[in-house]
Each structure stands twice: as structure tokens, then as C-alpha cells.
Structure 1
Amino acid sequence: MSREWTRRRLLARLGAAGLLGSLAGCPREDGAPRTTTPTERTTRPTTVDTAVSRETPTATESATATPAPEDYDKVVDVVEEGADPTGSVSIHSTLQSLDTDHTLVRFPPGEYLLDEHWYVDEFTRLGIVGPEATITTVPNFGGPLFGLGRSEDATDLAVEGLTFDFRRENTGPRPLHLTVADDLHVSDVTVRGEFDVDQDGMRFGVTDPDGTGVVRRLRMPDGGAPQFTNTGCYVGDDHRGHVRFEDCLVGGFPDNGLYASPAPGRVDVVGGRYENNGVSNVRVSGPATVEGVTVRCDTARPGVPNMRGIRLREGSNVLVDGCRVVMDRVTESDGAITCANWLESATIRNTHVTVRADGVRALWAKDPKNGSSAERRYPLQIRNLTVDGSAAGNTAIMISGRNGTLLDGLCVCQTGRGRNGVTVVQSADSALRQSSITVTGTPLVTEQAALDRRDLSLQSLGSPGRVSNGVCDCS
């Protein structure tokens, strides 16, 4: 069966399910979508700046679909093959005996003990389903439990419905290490319990530059023990294709929730919740899209460092769109959204950030080590960004050494004591337009940064800040 025929079949089967579209505007402070955006406060210029309007492309559809028996040459029931569904005897020998080519492996309802690695390096069209199956393991085993692919001779892999139970003390091996050339599908996989061994969580990758993959509704809410630098979900440096994470939940990991920044291939994060992870909750490098994602930090566990929301690590062609970030309580944090020194260009738009944790920035764009991208007039574009909350101290938005930064349609309202609004340092050829900034400190601070300023409302509330009479309305 040809690869092209398979792609058409998968696209047809995906059908009208579609993917999450762009959000119309920013969410409210309670997390619900806004019906308007900050741009409605002012009238846009009638002239079009082509350098500004050239957008980072949004996420594209992945050609993957749920596995069905008719798509495989054979269907194997692991219990019929000798696996114990009571969790008393390891199923490793049963799994090792399977012929995995063109095979759908079914786990009937039950509990399955796996105390060794199940490695399959080469296969074509392997499916694993078990919507009522729970996988357990033994203490101090590092995994991976399922190590599937890891070579150019593995393609078309689907894993769906499994639950991994790590509630037993000193358990938490890597559940899935899945790397294929093309056609990766993971959906409705859940991990229960904390990773309390020195091992990271999931790892996914698509090695063919034309390959695609999708991870849907992955649930990892219980995180990792802070004495280990565990990562929730990792996309490695062997990823060259395009993988999407849709509607996932990852929370409580000390060293990144979703860590996708080493990957040279495209990574899109669409929807989902990422909560209380250290280092960053969502971490990507270009090319990448982070769209409709909710990030919340409200629990400051000792040993969980630098609780950033969304971290844009490096490269170009990065888009953050329609996201909601809330920073209530943190151990420490560089910011709700950060642009690292290695990032060349990005667009951040239609996004709402609430900061109540004192001293934490809503956005920090750091000095670029490799210079900014020359592909467009404004390499860094921040548009229709709402920032609110009661954080005291520091500044809401910091732009440092970023020549060619566009700040357009901002609404900043920070009521904590001694809070500045927008600070721009050594960033030539930049612009601040059609924005409202209301803070207790200085609304706009510039240092060696002549700004093109248009249609601004700047107000200092004094200290302590008091908001009244509709001042600070970002609706």
C-alpha cells in the first residue's frame, strides 16, 4: 500500500473532525473567551504596513486518525496471547513474542504489569489500543515501558487509550518513547500518580522532514517529585517533521511541562492546560505555534525553579496566539511569557496575561545573542496583548536589546505598588501604538530606545494603586 494512498485515506477519515481554530480574542480574567479584543478601543490606521502584516503561519492539520481494525492485516488480543490481566505476572514475554508489522494490538480491560522495556525498532503500521487497560510497573525501574520506533524503519504508529498507574512509591519510568519516520498518532493516554524516580516522562518525535504526528488529550496531571529534574513531555533533537499537541494536560513537573525546544522540526501546541511546571510550562523553538493554550501557576512547591509560563527559546517563525496565562503564585519566575536570547523573531497576539505574583513580568524579551531576523521590518511583534493583575514591583513588559519591536494594541493594567508598565531598553527602530497603560509606577520607561509612539493612553495611579470609574477597562 503506497504511502501517498495512506495519507489520503487518513485525511479522509479525519474528515470533519477538524482542528482548533484561531480564537477570536483574549479570554477574560476568569478564563472564558472574550467577545472583543483590545483593538476595538482605537481605530486602526488605514495604511497597511506590509512588513507588519506578514504573519507567522498558523498551525496546519496533521494527517493522522484513530486506528481501526480494518486498517490492519491482523488484530491481536494480548490476553488471548497469554498476558495476565490481573497485574500479578509481567506481560513482557507476551509483548516480545508479537509480530508487530501491520498489527493492531488490543489490551482488554484489566491491569497489566510491565517490569522490563518493550522495544520494537522496526515496523510498518502498528496500533496499540486499550481504553480500559491500566499498565503498572515495579519500583525503581527507569523505562521506557514502551520503546517503539527509534529508527528510520518505523512508520505508522498509533497508541490510544492506555492508562499508566504510578501511584506506587518509587515508580515513574518513561511510559512511552515513540519515534517514527511518519504517521504518529497518540490519543487519550493518561498517567496517574507522581513520577518519583529520576526519569523523564513521555518522548515523541517524527524523523522524516515530511512526516507528521499528533498527540491528543494526553493527561499527566500529577507531575514529578521535586528532588528529581523530571520533564513531563519531551520532543527531542531527532524530530525533523511536524508534530501537534492538542488539548493536553501536563502539570507539576520540576523541569519543563512540554519541552519541545531542541527539536528542529515543527511543533504546534493547540489548546490544553499546562500548570505549575518549573523552568517553563510550554517551551518551543521555531518553527512553532502555541495557540489557545491555558497556562496557570498557583502552587509554589520548593524545588520547582523558575516557573515561566510560555518560553520561546530560539529560532524564528514562532507564533503565540489566543493564549491565557495566569501567574498567581510561583517560587520564582522570569516571566509569564519569555523570549530567550536565542530567539530571532516571533509574533505574540490576542493573548491575556494576569500577574498577581509580585516581581514577575508578564513578558520579557531578552537581548538576542544572534541578532534579530531580517525577514520582516519588526522581527518581534506583540499585538493585542492584555496584562492585568495586582503584582507589585518590577515592570509588566520588558523589551531589552530588541531592535525592531512592534507593540500594538496593548492594554496594561497593573495595580500593585511600584509597578511600571512598559520598559524598552536599547531597542532601536521600535514602535508603541494604540495602547493603554495604567500602572502605579511609570507607564512607559525608555532607555536608549527612541520609539515611534502613536495613540497612547498613559496613566499612573500612584501608590498604592486604586482603580475606579472605569479606568483600566481592557474589555
Structure 2
Amino acid sequence: MGRDWTRRELVERLGAAGLLGSLAGCPSDDPGPGPDEQTPTPRTPGPTPESETPLDVERQTEEWPPDAERYGTVVDVAEAGGDTGGSESVLPILESIDPDDTLVRFPPGEYRLDGSWRVEEFERLAIVGPEATITTDPGITGPLFGLGGDGDARDLAISGLTFDFRRADTGPRPIYAAVEDGLAVSDVTVRGEMDLDQDGMRFGVTREEGTGVVRRLRMPDGGDPRFTNTGCYVGEDHRGHVAFADCRIDGFPDNGLYASPAVGRVDVVGGVYRNSGVSNVRVSGPATVRGVTVRCDEARRSVPNMRGIRLREGSGVLVENCRVVMEKVTASDGGITCAKWLDEATIRDTHVTVAADDVPAVWAKEPDAVGADVRRHPIQLRGLTVDGSAARGAAVKVSYRDGTLIEDLCLCQSGLDRDGVHVLASADGVLRRANITVTGRPLVTRRAPLARRDVRLHSLGRIGALGGPSCGCR
């Protein structure tokens, strides 16, 4: 089969091209009037292409899982002699497979791997097992499926596998997949807490023009807090465009979806991310986080700084139509944070509820350095709703961020001594169409000239906090 046909089957038929294209476009500048850590990865993102085939991200893909008739070779692991009861390892069978133009089928059953199946070079490889469970032995570190990497690998489809790590001392990296183009992962589940000192999934697209989609990845049982492990990682070798759609990742000590080292574009669309440390969703520009739900409501010991969404560095970052709930945390410096290496970001039409005391809903931190080519309003908060019963501190914090734009803000916090918006040492800021109701000071500016228009400020004081405020916005 030719290269063009391969791309259609493994990318366009999955809806990847439309999904990625519909997310491409960075937020535009404001047209209206207006007056930890680590050494960041070098980033040189180019222009983002506009969508040619917009796709409703809720659309299901009828052609998924991959059709065996589209592959030159089909290997049925059970028919090849594999044990479907999980007693004998099927690794020797996998290692005997020629991966090119091959679909590997795991029929219903349990399959044990006592080591890593590593395939560095291939073209058109599919692994399918909608009723198959993969188990392993205690102490095996994985990855169980090590696909691509330094070799010439492209067009990889993985569908329907369940990894069962409920036994003690199991929980290696299930999948490491790094291909040049055509990554398509769907309906993969990890059961059981990952209790080895090893990170979880890793995905990447290593060519700039390459694309990939990870759909409905499920990792609900998290990782053992004894180890600083990440749930899903997009590494430094990622140069293309990958989207995570409708995934669920819960309870990892060191980031849920950790995509900020990636040089290429990462988009996160829909899905639920809960109770991970450092951040539940972590991206750098260019990136989009759209329609995502983040909830922190379980404070486990040794799970640090439970941020909701962390915007790490770069520009061209958009957070849109997201729901962030910060109820209970070990510690946290924000529901949505803009790290000091971040140049530009837009947060719009997003609702943040904070019940954890001293935790801001949004914090744009003092920048390490800002490039000369940033837009007029580098940090933009548009259509932001903040509510909840958090006490003390401020709901929105802006520190040393010149030109910050805040518009269409509804902020209502009922906890004692809770302030609204703090702007520190930030010139040329704009606040317009804002309704702020808190028990403390609605607006605090220090060395921060702020152009205001249509701003309503309400301070309820301690008595008002008892019954909860009525915001009167939206």
C-alpha cells in the first residue's frame, strides 16, 4: 500500500485531521480600546495552520477499530499459540511478528507479558483487543509495548486493550509510542494503581508535519504516592500535532497529562482529569485545552501542589470552555496557573470553583522574561466565572504582567477575608465588564495602572459571608 493511502486510513478516517485542524488557530489579540523550578525546553514553534475540515469532536468514528481487511497480514495471537488464560507469556509470539502492514489481534482473554515487546521500525502496524486484558509479573518495568522511538516508524493504531495492574508491585509503563506520523490510539484502559517507580503512558509524533490522536484513554486508578510518577507524558521528541480527546486520568503524584516538554503542538479536548499533583493538565504553547473538566477533591499525602491546569511556557496557548473545581488539596498555587516562562495565553469562557482556602482560581505569575514580539495583551482572561467558598487570599492574581486584559468577569467568593482581583506591578492593564463580589477587597492594584470600564465592586464583609453572596452576574 502507498503512503497516501496509509495516511487516509489511520488519520483522516479516525477524524484526526479534522480534529487537529479545528483546534489549530491561536487566540487573536484584543481589538478593543485599553490603556519551580526547571530550565524550560527551547521552543521554536512555527505558524499554526488553519482548519480546512472542521470536525465535531463528539463525532464517533464508525471505522474504529481498524479493519483487518486493510492489512496485508493479520496475526491472531491465540491462533498463533498464545495462552489466553494468562499463565504463559505471549512475548515470544509477539517478537516473531513482522510488523509491517500487519494487524495483531488479541481475542477475548488474558495475556501475560514477562518483558517488553520492542519494535523500533515499522510501517502500518495495528494492535487490536477490545476484550483483551494484558497482565505482567511483579517488578517488570516495561514498557510492555515499546513502539517506535529512534527508528523509522509510522502509522500505528492501538485499540481496545486493558492493562490490569491490580497485583502488588505491578504498574510498568504500558505503552511507549513515538512515530513519525499517523498515531491513532483509542479505548485503552489501565486498571489498578501503578505502584512501581516508573511513569505511565508516553506518546509522541516526531515529524513536524505528523499528526496523532489519543481517544478515550482511561487511567482512573492513578499511581502510588511513594513515587513521583506521571500518568501520561508527551516528551521532548514530539514535533508534530497530537490531540487527546475525551480521556480520563486520575490520581498521579507528579502530573496527570504532562505535555509541557513537547516542542510540537498538543491539544486536549474534553475528558476528565482529577487529583494529580503538580498539575492535572500541563501544556506549553502552542496548545489548546478545550471542554476539559478538572477536579481536585482528594488530598492524598505526598501528592504536592495540586494545580488544575498549568500553562508552562511559550505562546499560542488557549484554555476554553473548561470547568475547574478546587475543593480539597494538599496544597495548590492555583486552579489555572501561568508559569513564569509563559509569554502569551488566553483563558476564556471558563468556570473555576474554589472551595480550598488560600488557593487562587487563576494566577498569572511574574514572568522570567517576555519576548519583544508578544501581542498587545499577552495574558487575556475573557468570560471567566469564579465562584466558591474559599477563604483568604485572592481569587485572581496578576503579577508583573504588563498589558493584561480581563473582561466579562463574574467573580463571587463567599469565604472569610477573600479578595477579588490583585494586580501587582503590571502596567497598561484593562479591566472591563466585571462584577466582583467578595468578603474582602474586590480589587487591589499596586503599581499597576488599570483602565476600567463597566466595573461593579461589592464587599460583603464578615456578615455577608455567613449567608453566601448573591453575585448578580449572568
Fold shared, TM-score > 0.5 on shorter chain: yes
Counterpart residue number, 2:43:
none
Match of 1:391 in 2: 390
Partner residue, 2:282: 283
1:189 matched to 2:172: no
How far the C-alpha of 1:248 sits from its partner, in A, is 0.3
How far residue 91 of structure 1 moved from its aligned partner, in angstroms, is 0.8
Larger RCO of the pair (alpha carbons < 8 Å, separation 6+):
1
Aligned to 1:229: 228
What is the identity, as a one-letter code, of the residue corresponding to 1:7? Answer: R
C-alpha separation in 2, matches of 1:21 and 1:323 = 20
- Are 1:49 and 2:32 an aligned pair? yes
Q: Distance in 1 between matches of 2:379 and 2:238?
A: 26
Work out the CA distance in 2 between the residues paired with 1:257 and 1:113: 26
Cα distance in 1, alignment partners of residues 112 and 435 from structure 2: 58
Percentage of matched positions with identical amino acids: 65
Instruction: Measure, in 2, the Cα distance between the counterparts of 1:414 and 1:423.
Output: 14
- The answer for unaligned runs of 5 or more in structure 1 is 24-46
Contact 2:338 2:364 survives alignment (8 Å): yes
User: Partner of 1:296 in structure 2?
Assistant: 295
Q: By how many angstroms is 1:140 displaced? A: 1.3
SS at match of 1:112: strand
Report the alpha carbon displacement of residue 185 of structure 1 after superposing the two structures with TM: 0.5
Q: Does the alignment pair 1:408 with 2:407?
A: yes
Give the deviation of 1:67 after TM superposition.
1.6
Counterpart mapping for 1:18-417 below 5 A: 19=19, 48-49=31-32, 66-371=65-370, 374-417=373-416
CA drift at 1:49: 2.9
- Secondary structure of 1:70's counterpart equals helix
Q: Distance in 1 between the 2:432 and 2:399 partners?
A: 18
Q: Displacement of 1:13 after TM fit?
A: 2.9
In the TM superposition, residue 375 of structure 1 has moved relative to its aligned partner by 3.6
Q: For residue 32 of structure 1, what is the aligned residue in structure 2?
A: none
Distance 2:198 2:358 in 1: 32
Q: Is the 8 A contact 2:410 2:435 kept in 1?
A: yes
Conservation of the 8 A alpha-carbon contact between 1:281 and 1:307: yes
Which residue identity does 1:242 align to in structure 2?
Answer: H
RMSD, aligned α-carbons = 2.6
Q: How far did residue 370 of structure 1 move?
A: 1.8
Q: CA deviation at 1:51?
A: 10
Q: Describe the shift of the 1:144–1:464 C-alpha distance in structure 2 as closer, same or farther (beyond 3 A).
A: farther
- Matched residue type, 1:336: G
Alpha-carbon distance change, 16 to 340 in structure 1, aligned in 2, over 3 angstroms: closer
Residues 136 and 50 of structure 1: CA distance in aligned 2, closer, same or farther (over 3 Å)? farther
- TM-score in terms of structure 2 length: 0.90
Superposed displacement of residue 80, structure 1:
1.2
Contact 1:22–1:321 under 8 Å retained in 2: no
Q: How far, CA to CA, are the matches of 2:89 and 2:253 in structure 1?
A: 31
Which moves more between the two structures, 457-466 or 57-66? 57-66
Q: What per-residue deviation string (whole Å, max 9, x for no partner) do you get for residues 230-273 of structure 1?
A: 10000000000000000000000000000000000000000000
Distance 2:427 2:147 in 1: 50
Q: Structure 1's 21 and 420: CA in aligned 2 closer, same or farther, altered over 3 A?
A: farther
Look up the SS of the partner of 1:214 in the other structure.
Answer: strand
Give the whole-Å Cα distance in 1 for the aligned partners of 2:340 and 2:429.
Answer: 18
- Asked if 1:422 is matched to 2:405, the reply is no
1:269-327: CA deviations, max 9, x gaps?
00000000000000000000000000000000000000000000000000000000000
What are the equivalent positions in structure 2 for 1:419-458 lying under 5 Å apart? 419-458=418-457
Q: Is the contact between residue 159 and residue 187 of structure 2 (CA under 8 Å) also seen in structure 1?
A: yes
Q: Return the letter of the residue paired with 1:443.
A: P
Q: Is the 8 A contact 1:335 1:364 kept in 2?
A: yes
SS, match of residue 228 in structure 1: coil
Check the 8 A contact 2:10/2:155 in 1, yes or no: no
The alpha-carbon distance between structure 1 residues 209 and 422, as it changes in their structure 2 partners (threshold 3 A), is same
Instruction: Name the CA distance, whole Å, in 1 between partners of 2:131 and 2:89.
Output: 18
Counterpart residue type for residue 32 of structure 2: D
- Aligned residue for 1:2? 2
SS at match of 1:312: strand
1:164 is paired with a residue of what secondary structure? Answer: strand
CA distance in 2, matches of 1:466, 1:20: 45
Q: Distance in 1 between matches of 2:224 and 2:420?
A: 36
Residues 1:293 and 1:58: Cα distance change in structure 2 (over 3 Å): farther
Contact 1:103–1:125 under 8 Å retained in 2: yes
The separation in 1 between residues aligned to 2:443 and 2:22, in whole angstroms, is 31
Separation of aligned partners in 2, 1:347 and 1:362: 15
Q: In structure 1, what residue type is equivalent to 2:393? A: N
Kindly tell me: are residues 15 and 115 of structure 1, through their superposed partners in 2, closer, same or farther at Cα, counting changes over 3 Å? closer
How many residues end up aligned between the 2 structures? 450
Cα distance per residue 1:369-401 (max 9 Å; x no partner): 121563421011110000000000000000001
Indicate the SS of the match to 1:410.
strand
Q: Normalized against structure 1, the TM-score is what?
A: 0.90
Q: Secondary structure at the match of 1:436?
A: strand
**2:248·2:273 contact (CA, 8 Å) conserved in 1?**
yes
Query: What SS class does the counterpart of residue 95 from structure 1 fall into?
Result: helix
Amino acid corresponding to residue 403 of structure 1 in structure 2: D
Deviation at 1:8, TM superposition (A): 3.9
